[in-house]
Structure 1
Amino acid sequence: MILACIFEFIIILCGIYERHWFGRHGGGYVKFLPFGLVMKFNKTHGADEADIIAFVRKNTAIPVPRVLLQTRGFGRAYFLMKRVDGEALNSVWHKLDPDQKASVVPQLRLCVEQLRALQPPSSGTVCGLSNAALVDSRISSSPVGPFRNEHDFNDHLIKAASIYVDGTLLRDVRARMHDSHRIVFTHGDLAPRNIIVRRDKVAAIIDWEGAGWYPEHWELVKALYNPMMRDDESWNTAIREILPRGYEKDCEVDRQLSDRMVGAF
């Protein structure tokens, strides 16, 4: 609790002396501090992002931020990490030449392969780290799950869409959903803004709050969900090379729901 009080004091102090001092990033709030430090906090829901980062760091070679301190208190989860030197990929992608872009793609593909190689904690369960609830803006503004299997997960997607989508279409969409995908560890927001690069080298993947055990097509669903770089054909091509193929029909089915829900939350 003492550490939580210290974090809250920093929040209050910066709020007094700085206007709009926190930048929104993913589901949390971020502040860049002196000495190359970054503070982030969010509501205590699902697994702590710091725990997810530690899990990925321990079990893969994926570059992630280094967490220095973490705690919970006052209904929030806080952590302090070292800032990663580099730039967000969305700010430099258009500056990279074809060879540099071609260099980034296999690095990210290897990261995804490592995530998918992680052994799930229980067979078929769709959940956050350590069986926590899922935090996913595509589904809900609040945590959901965990779900016993993909069938229950898909049922919830239909339920979440029911106030926006006609019942006849919902039944058609549900009939075309598959309930037998592999369940794999998924970043959940593999967007260029969450990829830090130094020239054509991937320095870190950040914003792991929404990561968890999802059906194998979900990474592509989320990568294409209301993307900031929708009109950049080179990135749309790249993300399909980064992620395994064979999920286009799954994404088309999901868009029957998500296109009617964008902005709902």
Structure 2
Amino acid sequence: MFQQISHIRSLGLATIFKTYLSACGLYHELRRKPDGTSHSGRLAFILGRMVLKTFSITNGALEADTLRYIRAHTTIPVPRVYASAEGYGRRYLLMQAIEGDCLEDVWKDLDDAQKDSIVESLRSYISQLRALPPPYGRKVCALYGEGVRDGRITSSGPVGPFLDEASFNDYLVDAAEIFMDETTLPGIRARMREDHRIVFTHGDLAPRNIMVKDGKVAAIIDWEQSGWYPEHWEMVKAMWNPMDRKDLSWNNRIIAMFSEEDKKDWMVDRELSDHLVGGF
């Protein structure tokens, strides 16, 4: 049985983080929007060689526990978690600041050998994630069997969990219905597979979430959208918000990294997702 990783929910530690943000004049900015409603955003603050990341409890994933889980079960480079806490309506994550550059910023400056090496590393990392045994059978869910946060599906908070891939697909179709001719949806739904392996998925493997140093991957960051998804979903999300379309050297390498079956399933998903851009 999957064991929940220890997560510090110390009100005392949360108070320390809240006090720090208050001293910087930032806490009330997190709590309120200009219209007076509650703020649900995610913000990060650089503290020397550390990063303090904060989320609302409603929309914030247990990213600290996900990072601990990945460090414990794979060789994927991720930031080290120094502390995490929950209190005052927010979650806090104090973690290692990664030395290096965002891949999105330096991709154009890398040579072909470096680009190929980075993509090969990503291929290895995805294989490691897919080798993790799913603790909830066919369930599509976050780390602890809870609802998932996924920008391809919605920007309004967690959805699910879903009993199986069929339920997940039904939700995707229902979410697309408002944007599409409903007569086309049954045909799309009929082509959506329900027999994928359920595997652990980063869920946002875009260049902005890949840190590099000296032409090599230094860390994979931002695991907020990770969870147990159908096997093709990593490609769906990697291509959801890819690199600048004027430079296809990233997109073409990523497409080649996945299987032909993944590509077919990605194209089926695009029949839905291409109608959703700007629809959130």
Q: Please report the TM-score for the alignment, with normalisation by the length of structure 1.
A: 0.92
Task: Decide whether the 8 Å contact of 2:60 with 2:91 is kept in 1.
Answer: no
Q: Cα gap change, 1:16/1:186 in structure 2, threshold over 3 Å: closer, same or farther?
A: closer
Q: Which amino acid aligns with 1:43?
A: S
Uncovered stretches (5+) of structure 2, i.e. residues with no partner:
1-10, 31-40
Give the C-alpha shift of residue 10 in structure 1: 2.1
1:83 & 1:198 partners in 2: Cα distance? Answer: 13
1:16 & 1:130 partners in 2: Cα distance? Answer: 31
After TM superposition, what 4+ stretches of structure 1 lie above 6 angstroms from structure 2?
Answer: none
Q: Percent identity?
A: 51
Please identify, of 105-114 and 45-54, the stretch whose mean Cα deviation from structure 2 is larger: 45-54
Q: Cα gap change, 1:123/1:42 in structure 2, threshold over 3 Å: closer, same or farther?
A: same
Which of 4, 12, 21 pairs up with 2:22? 12
Give the C-alpha shift of residue 5 in structure 1: 1.7
Give the C-alpha shift of residue 120 in structure 1: 0.2
1:16 & 1:146 partners in 2: Cα distance? Answer: 33
The yes-or-no answer on 1:253 pairing with 2:268 is yes
Q: Which secondary structure state, in structure 2, belongs to the residue aligned with residue 208 of structure 1?
A: coil
Task: Decide whether the 8 Å contact of 2:100 with 2:218 is kept in 1.
Answer: yes
2:240 & 2:138 partners in 1: Cα distance? Answer: 24
Match runs of 1:173-192 below 5 Å:
173-192=188-207
Q: Tell me the residue number matched to 2:135.
A: 121
Q: Which amino acid aligns with 1:7?
A: F
Which of 93, 98, 119 pairs up with 1:105? 119
Q: CA RMSD in A?
A: 1.8
Give the C-alpha shift of residue 46 in structure 1: 6.5
Q: Which secondary structure state, in structure 2, belongs to the residue aligned with residue 247 of structure 1?
A: helix
Task: Decide whether the 8 Å contact of 2:255 with 2:263 is kept in 1.
Answer: no
2:218 & 2:254 partners in 1: Cα distance? Answer: 18
Q: Tell me the residue number matched to 1:234.
A: 249
Q: Which amino acid aligns with 2:100?
A: G
The yes-or-no answer on 1:52 pairing with 2:66 is yes
Q: Which amino acid aligns with 2:194?
A: D
Q: Cα gap change, 1:263/1:10 in structure 2, threshold over 3 Å: closer, same or farther?
A: farther
1:61 & 1:122 partners in 2: Cα distance? Answer: 23
Uncovered stretches (5+) of structure 1, i.e. residues with no partner:
21-26
2:264 & 2:195 partners in 1: Cα distance? Answer: 14
Q: Tell me the residue number matched to 1:138.
A: 152
Q: Which amino acid aligns with 2:240?
A: Y
Give the C-alpha shift of residue 12 in structure 1: 2.4
Give the C-alpha shift of residue 47 in structure 1: 4.2
2:86 & 2:47 partners in 1: Cα distance? Answer: 20
Q: Deviations over 1:235-263 (max 9, x none)?
A: 01221243344222211111111111112
Task: Decide whether the 8 Å contact of 2:76 with 2:219 is kept in 1.
Answer: yes
